[in-house]
Amino acid sequence: MKICDIREVPGIDQDVLKYMNEKNHEKVIFCSDKATQLEAIIAIHNTNLGPALGGTRMWEYNNISEATKDVLRLSRGMTYKAAITNLNLGGGKAVIIGNSNNKTKEMMKAFGQFVESQNGKYITAEDVGMTTDDMKFIYEETNHVVGKPIELGGSGDPSVITAYGVLMGMKGSAYYKWGNENLKNKKILIQGVGNVGRNLIELLIKEEADIYINDVNEEKVQKISQKYNVSIIKKDIFSSEVDIYAPCALGGTLNEQTIPKLKCAIVAGAANNQLAKEYIHDDLLSKHNIIYAPDFLINAGGLINVYSELKGFSHDQVMRKAENIFDTTIEILKKSKKDSISTQKAALKIAKDKVFKKDSV
Ligand code: NAD
């Protein structure tokens, strides 16, 4: 088994290393294990507020530079997500390079040993391409893992709490926009009815909202529409006449093409990295007079859920922490107006001030 600084790996793009230096990552290591064919990168962005927590993503990256770029960006995002949510955590993330269908128990155990080698500075969890079962194998080698199965003292499916946090973000935005958090009869479009989207539908039904759904998976759409009173939107979803658009599928749906079409007053959803270009499309949304509830704030319910494993929080404590997203959303929207900056920049500024304890945007 071998560990080395990412800078020592041959063939990494200079641009990627430049990004790493600019964003001040504390430590980025390349881990390889010939016996199990594991190749992974662990990135620790910042540990000022606590150990770096962030999931492990297994993905078939085209090359080491692409994998490094992803882990650098994701780990940085975790630092600010934890900070804005007031959790005593830093930001980290790991990627395993490869097709998740080729995963083996031995490979997961080898990865667990690499996590263990960081002595708790990095805590891992589940992300794209990983399952709760994988966490079980990693846990055989290290205690520094959360998102374990419930039978091992884990916190279970995070998407329930994520959806609740998104609801709080929607309500905070609604309160700011319309002077009332009530979502009754508000037209809400949920793009992506997977784990989070489905839970969000259940919550919005209780709110008596007018729900519209869209998903590329036709089977899911049919199942959901048979179970709940929702309307299906198939085409031109971005031009839909709705009050709130909730991206709950993939990132990057807010861009030059889509933003000018939007007719909603608020964007509030669970997907990570909704803004295709963080510092351009945030301003474009403001220009179109659309309120954007920053994704890294309102989708933090999942992080709160796994954090509860470290702190031994009860379900009620987790729900209360997620409820705070309502107040934080309003705080950010007010700051955005007061400082004449986008909501994304306002949220990042608050998070960065917490991490670096100074004015630092
Ligand atoms: P999921 O895979 O269960 O659901 C995603 C859904 O989006 C699927 O039904 C898929 O068919 C659909 N989809 C994919 N591309 C689409 C497209 N172009 N248009 C419409 N639908 C499309 O994922 P999830 O766990 O529900 O997570 C949803 C989003 O929220 C992801 O971006 C994820 O990173 C983010 N997120 C999830 C959690 C969590 O707790 N699960 C926490 C934080 C952030």
**Is the model's pLDDT at 16 over the cut of 90?**
yes
What angle do helix axes 315-338 and 301-311 make, rounded to 10 degrees? 130
Same domain, 267 and 346: yes
Gap between the Cα atoms of 342 and 335, Å rounded = 9
CATH number at residue 120: 3.40.50.10860
Pairing of the two strands 27-33 and 2-5: antiparallel
- Coil, strand or helix: which one is 158? coil
Read off the pLDDT band of 361 (50, 70, 90): very low
Give residue 10 CA to ligand 1 midpoint distance, Å.
34
78, two tokens = 């975790």
CA 26 to chain centre: 21
Based on the fold, state whether residues 135 and 255 are members of the same structural domain: no
Cβ(189)–Cβ(245) under 8 Å?
yes
Confirm if 90 and 82 have CB atoms less than 8 A apart.
yes
Instruction: Let me know whether 42 and 164 are in one domain.
Output: no
Domain shared by 282 and 185, yes or no: yes
Residue 64, token pair as written in the block? 């080491």
Answer whether 0.95 is exceeded by the pTM. Answer: no
Domain match, 193 and 304 both: yes
Q: How far is the CA of 14 from the centre of ligand 1 (A)?
A: 32
Tokens of 118: 């960081």
Give me the numbers of helices (H) and strands (E) for the chain, helices first please: 12, 13
Pocket probe mutation, ligand 1, options 78, 159, 220, max atoms within 8 Å of Cβ? 159
- Give a yes or no: residue 361 inside a domain: no
Distance 250 CA to ligand 1 centre (A): 6
* Tally of domains within the chain: 2
CA–centroid distance, 162 to ligand 1, in Å, is 11
- Residue whose CA lies nearest to ligand 1 atom number 39: 159
Same domain, 164 and 286: yes
Nearest to 320 by CA among 306, 335, 310, 305: 305
Question: DSSP assignment of 159-193, as one string?
Answer: HHHHHHHHHHHHHHHHHHHHS----TT-EEEEE--
**Final residue before a domain boundary, out of 87, 116, 151:** 151
> Which residue's structure tokens are 């600084």?
5
- Same domain, yes or no: 12 and 106: yes
For residue 277, give the 3-state DSSP assignment.
coil
Domain closes at, from 151, 169, 196: 151
pLDDT digits (tens, 9 = 90+) for 218-259: 999 999 999 999 999 999 999 999 999 999 998 899 999 999
CATH of the domain at 276: 3.40.50.720
In this structure, is residue 326 part of a structural domain? yes
Among residues 151, 186, 221, which one ends one of the domains? 151
Tens-place pLDDT, residues 173-198: 999 999 999 999 999 999 999 999 99
- Helix H, strand E, coil C: the string for 105-117 is HHHHHHHHHHHHC
Residue 52 phi/psi, 5° resolution?
-80, 115
Lowest mean pLDDT of 46-55, 126-135, 136-145, name the range: 126-135
Contact criterion met (CB below 8 Å) for 69 and 58: no
Same domain, 25 and 46: yes
Q: What is the mean pLDDT of residues 313-328?
A: 96
Q: How is residue 248 annotated by DSSP?
A: -
- 281 and 194 in a single domain? The answer is yes
106 with 242, same domain?
A: no
For residue range 23-59, what is the model confidence (pLDDT) as tens digits? 999 999 999 999 999 999 999 999 999 999 999 999 9
93 as an active site residue: the answer is yes
**Binding-site residues, ligand 1, Cβ < 6 A:** 158-159, 162, 191-197, 214-217, 220, 248-250, 270-272, 299, 302
Q: Are residues 91 and 238 in the same domain?
A: no
Q: What is the best residue among 84, 161, 196, 306 to mutate for testing ligand 1's pocket, by most ligand atoms within 8 Å of CB?
A: 196
- Domain hosting residue 41, numbered range: 2-151
Q: Which residues are 95's β-sheet partners?
A: 41, 57
